[in-house]
Amino acid sequence: MRRVWAILVAGVFLYFLIGQFLPIIPDFGNVDLFTRVAFDIINKSTTSNYNSVEFKKSKDLEDGSANVVTSIVVNYRSFDTLGEVSVLFCAAIGVGILASMLKSKRRIEFEEHKILRTSTGIALPLILLFGAYIFIHGHLSPGGGFPGGTTIALGVLLLMLSNNEFKVTDVAKHVEQSAGAGYVVVGLMGMAIGGVFLMNFLPTGVVGNLFSAGVVPIVYTFIGFKVGAELSNVISDLREG
């Protein structure tokens, strides 16, 4: 009986999606970017007139990152990223609260493995370095704070798998708190300097250099540390409560 209901509900929904929703969206690939705001965002001309952007040549545009998705996530729609950071923050606190309320004391132990232990010593610094590279170069290549932080947390997970005595200490909590507060402080500094919350108050430099795009690398560094610390806390809480 349950399966009948399920097929009915899924069928009605699919009928609505394919029959009514699909005709109103444009064909795959057949999009005219000029009708969407993305056109002005790609050409960095939301507050000025259209000027073509050239790699390593255009200087002091309204937004300096070569990665257009980064410019949306951290510059044009930075408020959404602040909300997203809060979602992760609340989820990590929730896992902490709920995992500490479990009555049975458990701790997941892994088998000791000599090869894993030795190779972790080689792989771990490379993983952490790669994670840091991802979030430092967020405005130049794909990636940014979230994948970078996740890679760092993966390094911590590898350390946990290979070494049973490793504990995530309170350092992670302090890192998380200061990084999160740092992001809000950057926003408030934008308010103090420029008059509007989350304004980009540093000079934007040349598109394509490492030191460009104003506040964007700073914000992504904060996010990278915060996400790395948070996910490490989540893994540690799930493991031992």
Partner 1 sequence: MIALLIAVPLAFAFASIPHERLGRYFLPFVALFNLVCLFFFMQPEQILEVGKWPAAYGIALVLDNVSYPFLILVNFLILMMSLSATLENRFGTLLLVLTAAVNGIILTGDFFNSFVFLEIISVIAYIIAAHKDNALGAFKYLIFGGIGGTMYLLGAVSVYVKSGTLNMAYASFITDPIVVPTICIFFLITFLVELKVLPLGLWAPDVYSNGSSVTPIALGSVVTVSLVYLFSRIFLNIFDLPNPQLVGILAMISIILAELGALKQKNLGRALSFATISGISTVVAALSMRESEIASAAYFYLFNDVISKFILFTLFAYLGERGFKSNKTAGIAFTFASLSVIGFPMFAGFWAKYYLLKALFQASSYALPAIILIAAVIEAGYLIKWNVELWYKGEDTPENTPKVQDGEQDSEMENEANEVEESFIPFGAQIVTLLLALTLVVIGFMPSLVHNQTMSIANNVLDFRPYLDLILRGGM
Partner 2 sequence: MSNIIYYVSFIILGIGIYGVVSQKNLFKQLISLSIIDTAVNIFIVALGYVEWGEAPIYSAVTPVAKFVDPLPQALVLTAIVIGVGTLALGSVLLMHIDEKYGSLDPDEIKDTREVVE
Applying CB under 8 A, the residues found at the interface with partner 2 are 2-3, 5-7, 9-11, 13-14, 17-18, 22, 25, 27-31, 33, 36-38, 41-43, 52-56, 66-69, 72-73, 77, 80-81, 83-84, 87-88, 90-92, 94-95, 98-99, 101-104, 140-142, 144, 146, 207-208, 234, 237-238
Tokens 């402080």 — which residue?
Answer: 185
* Burial grade of 19 (CB within 10 A; 0-12, 13-18, 19 or more): exposed
Q: Which of partner 2, partner 1, none interacts with 27 (beta carbon under 5 to 8 A by kind)?
A: partner 2
**Is the Cβ of residue 79 or residue 166 nearer to partner 1 in the bound state?**
79
Cα distance between residue 77 and residue 71, in whole Å: 8
| C-alpha closest to that of 213 among 132, 139, 156 | 139
Tell me 27's DSSP state. P
Of these partners, partner 2, partner 1, none, which one is at the site of residue 66 (CB under 5 to 8 Å by kind)? Answer: partner 2
Q: Which residues contact 5 (CB under 8 A, 6 or more apart)?
A: none
Stated as kind and residue range, the H or E segment containing 42 is helix 38-42
- What are the residues binding partner 1 (CB under 8 A)? 16, 20-21, 24-26, 35-37, 40-41, 46-47, 75-80, 82-84, 86-87, 89-91, 93-94, 96-98, 173-174, 176-177, 180-181, 184-185, 187-188, 190-191, 194-200
Contacted entry of partner 1, partner 2, none for residue 162, CB cut-off 5 to 8 Å set by kind: none
Count how many Cα atoms sit within 13 Å of the Cα of residue 106 in the half-sphere of its side chain.
10
What does the alpha-carbon distance between residue 161 and residue 117 come to, in Å, rounded to a whole number? Answer: 9
* Residue 105 touches which member of partner 1, partner 2, none, C-beta under 5-8 Å by kind: none
Q: How far is the CB of 68 from partner 1 (least distance, A)?
A: 13
